[in-house]
Amino acid sequence: MTAWKHNHVTLPNLKMHNVREGDGAPLLLLHGWPEFWYTWRKNIPILAERFDVIAPDFRGFGESENPEAIPDVGDYAEDIVQFIDALDLPKVGLVGHDVGAFVMQDIARRIPDRINGLFFFNCPHPGIGTRWLGGGHYKELWYQAFHQLEWSAELVGQSRDTCRVYFRHFLNHWAHADGQFDCDLDAWVDNFMTPGNLQGGFNWYRAVADYRQKIIDDGVPSLSPIDVPTYVLWGENDTVLRPEWSDGMEKYFTNITIETAKDAGHFVHYERPSLANERILAFFSG
């Protein structure tokens, strides 16, 4: 597929970009960081053979607008709920990775009756608790504090070279093997060198900072479980969201299946697209 169908949907607080392909039951693909809609390029064509696939950019990411005010962590879920309403979709399936997986949990608690299922890649769930900083893992999280500095986006965006070095690090370090993103690295640099996109992506870490700090300080929160059918496909070599952290998810999801993806790191949908597509198709086809 060489020609993507780009659309913009006007919401109360921003204009949200999305790519939409295929027919059938609606399936939303929600990206993480450092990503945008194009991270799903290996998934959209296959999934669109059976589903109405919609891959939006979160606020501040990709081609979506970036409101000036620092968002609240709940704004990202509210945006998607408004997006679903604007498209007049009575029910949807949700597929998400990283940031998208986090936001999906909020969406599922807001509109559970409108969600057909939740499919997570490497999910930052509440049960991780204080393990974010345990066992020396704090060394993997430096970027989250860095992104909250007022000058971080300016520093990374000094040139295409500095931007390339920065994102090449994460795409290599978090993947199972170096070089898997080499063919798409220019697309990542183009995206994040677009004015506002570095800061827009970094703003996620400002928005979620207080929530994560509370979990680190106080431990695992008490939340009502989510009853929506749930599938988790977690890369066994993820260095930032460790695969052993999938334990405890059963406390927050009453109907959940968890699978480990071999030869995959943080970006299972990109690193092992055939496996990812197969599991998504099977899960949402019942």
Which residues are the active-site residues? Answer: 98, 205, 266
Question: What string of DSSP letters covers 97-150?
Answer: ETHHHHHHHHHHHH-GGGEEEEEEES---GGGGGGGSGGGGGGG-HHHHHTTST
Could you give the CA distance from residue 182 to residue 171 in angstroms, rounded to a whole number? 9
Under a CB-based contact definition with an 8 Å cutoff, are residues 278 and 248 in contact?
A: no
Amino acid letter, 127: G
Q: Which distant-in-sequence residues (6+ apart) come within 8 Å of 138 by Cβ? A: 132
Q: Which distant-in-sequence residues (6+ apart) come within 8 Å of 55 by Cβ? A: 18, 19, 20, 28, 29, 31, 37, 40, 44
Could you give the CA distance from residue 259 to residue 243 in angstroms, rounded to a whole number? 10
Q: Which distant-in-sequence residues (6+ apart) come within 8 Å of 182 by Cβ? A: none
Could you give the CA distance from residue 192 to residue 164 in angstroms, rounded to a whole number? 9
- Phi then psi for 15, rounded to 5 degrees? -105, 125
The tokens describing 70, both together, are 């620092």
Q: How many other C-beta atoms can be found within 10 angstroms of the C-beta atom of residue 3?
A: 6
Could you give the CA distance from residue 18 to residue 162 in angstroms, rounded to a whole number? 28
Could you give the CA distance from residue 280 to residue 121 in angstroms, rounded to a whole number? 11
